[in-house]
Structures are given as structure tokens and as C-alpha cells.
Amino acid sequence: MIEVDELTAMCGDDSDMVKMLLTIYLEEYGESHNILKTRFSSDDVDGLFQISHELKGMFSNLCAKEAMTLAQVVESSAQAGTLPEQSTVDELCGKIQEINQQIAGILQ
């Protein structure tokens, strides 16, 4: 989940900036759980590296530490040329869906 207080502080307590970042995340990465599943099921190690690397950075920016750590695990496996454990991909996909729901609640 996103640490909203930490994100807000990082944005200088500017709620409009927080909402803009969250909106950008949803537009760019809102369907990333589907992308991860597709790339994993097709053994696309390079594609997994790319999306997990992007997600790691985005989750770092959004103060979503658990999701960032999972993205980093997927990224490391893919960078080594191996598929990550399916359970790790599934867990990351679950975190992405939780974050999407959290953001939807914030943006209402």
C-alpha cells in the first residue's frame, strides 16, 4: 500500500500534486498486473525485466515499499535471465490491485 502521509510530505503537503502523481500512475501502470501475468506466462524474461524495473521506480516514488520490494525481486530474477517464482509475480499483481483500489478511493 501507498504510505499516503509520507507521499504527501514528499510533495510538500500539496494534495493536488499527490492526486496528479496518482493519476499518472493509474494511466501508465494501472493495468501492469495484466502485463506482468502475460509476460510471465509467455516466458518473456526481457519484458518482465522492463515492466518490473519501471514499477520499482514508480512504487519508490509513490512510497509503496512492499510493492517496490516485490518488483525488485522480479526485476533481479529477470535481469539474471530467469523467470521469477510464480508466487512472487502473483503477490506483486495482488499488491498492484490493492494499490489501484487505494488510489481509486483517494481520487474520489
Residue 46's pLDDT is what?
97
pLDDT digits (tens, 9 = 90+) for 25-68: 999 999 999 999 999 999 999 999 999 999 999 999 999 999 99
Coil vs helix vs strand at 10? helix
Q: DSSP of 20-68, one letter per residue? A: HHHHHHHHHHTTHHHHHHHHHHTT-HHHHHHHHHHHHHHHHHTT-HHHH
| Mean pLDDT, rounded, for 73-82 | 97
Q: How many residues does the chain have?
A: 108
As a whole number of angstroms, the longest Cα–Cα distance in the chain is: 43
> Based on the number of CB atoms within 10 Å of its own CB, is 105 exposed (0-12), middle (13-18) or buried (19 or more)?
exposed
Residue 66's pLDDT is what?
97
Stated as kind and residue range, the H or E segment containing 91 is: helix 86-107
